[in-house]
A and B are shown apart, each in its own frame.
Chain A
Amino acid sequence: MWYKKREEKEEKMSVTIRFFAQFGELLGTDISAEPTSGGALADLIKEVASKNKEGYDAIFDKNGAFREFVIIMRNGKRLDTAHAENARVADGDEIAVFPPVAGG
Chain B
Amino acid sequence: MPRLTIQGLREKREDARREAAARQAHLKGKIAIHMGTCGNAAGARGVRTAILEELDQRGMTRDVRLTVTGCAGLCSREPMITVEMRNSPAVKYGDLSAEKVRKIVAEHIVAGNIVKEYTVGIGSANGAPDIPFFKKQVPLVLRNGGVLDPERIEDYIASDGYAALEKVLLSLTPEEVIDEVMRAGLRGRGGAGFPTGVKWKVCRGEKKNPKYIVGNCDEGDPGAYMDRSLLESDPHSIVEGMIVAAYAIGARRGYVYVRSEYPLAIERLRSAIEQAREYGLLGDRILGCNFDFDMEIREGSGAFVCGEETSLLHSIEGQNPEPRQRPPFPAQVGLWGCPTVINNVETLANIPVIVTRGADWYSTIGTPTSKGTKIFSLVGKINNTGLIEVPMGITLREVIYEIGGGIPGNKKFKAVQTGGPSGGCVPASLIDLPLDYESLKQAGAMMGSGGMIVMDEDTCMVDVSKFFVQFTNDESCGKCSACRDGSEALLEVLTRITDGQGQEGDIEFLEELGQAVKDASMCGLGQTLPNPVLSTLRYFRDEYVSHVAHADCPGKVCKALIKYYIDPDKCPGCALCLKNCPAGAIQGSTRHIHIIDQAVCTKCGECLEICPPKVSAVVKLSGKQAREMRSLDAPIPASEWKKRRSEQAGTGAVQ
Do A and B come from the same complex?
no
* Interface residues in chain A, defined as those with a beta carbon under 8 Å from any beta carbon in chain B: none
* Interface residues in chain B, defined as those with a beta carbon under 8 Å from any beta carbon in chain A: none
